Amino acid sequence: MSNVPAVTDSTFEAEVLQSLMPVLVDIWATWCAPCRRTEPIIEELAAEHGDKVKFVKLDADANVETVTKYGVVSIPSFNVYSGGEVVKTLVGAQTRKQFLDELGDYL
């Protein structure tokens, strides 16, 4: 079972924007090979750091409203939200070290 729950256009505000902790949103699609490569890394990070940062997945194809609202043009993209605002955006496949470096302020 996945450590990383899915969010949708309809649950995004409650699960991400209203979260009391920082949230990393993994914006992906089933056909995206780099997305599949980063999935195990996100799963590991969620298991290790889920008490400090909330990790969720957003299927770009199924949630066009949210993807459009936040100007996502390339996947995988990873948006970090804090206090209901995007505070960081990573585009493209990342390594575990890159994620840890980028999330350092929140871990």
The per-residue pLDDT for range 67-80, each reduced to its tens digit, is 999 999 999 999 99
107 belongs to a structural domain:
no
Q: Has residue 21 got a pLDDT over 60?
A: yes
Residue 83: domain span: 6-92
What's the confidence (pLDDT) of residue 78? 98
Which of 7, 16, 24, 32 is labelled catalytic? 32
Q: Determine if the peptide bond prior to 22 is cis (ω within 30°).
A: no
Share of the chain above pLDDT 70, in %: 99
Q: What is the pLDDT of residue 1?
A: 56
- Average pLDDT (59-68) is 98
Assigned domain for 87 exists: yes
CATH number of the domain residue 12 falls in: 3.40.30.10
* C-alpha closest to that of 62 among 20, 24, 101, 7: 7
The answer to whether residue 79 sits within a structural domain is: yes
Q: Is residue 98 part of a domain?
A: no
Are the CB atoms for 86 and 30 separated by under 8 Å? no
Check if 35 is active-site. Answer: yes
**Is 67 within the bounds of a domain?**
yes
Please identify which of the residues 35, 75, 80, 103 carries the catalytic annotation. Answer: 35
Other residues' Cβ atoms within 10 Å of the Cβ of residue 55: 22
Q: Is residue 27 part of a domain?
A: yes
Asked whether residue 31 carries a pLDDT value surpassing 70, the answer given is yes
4 annotated active-site: no
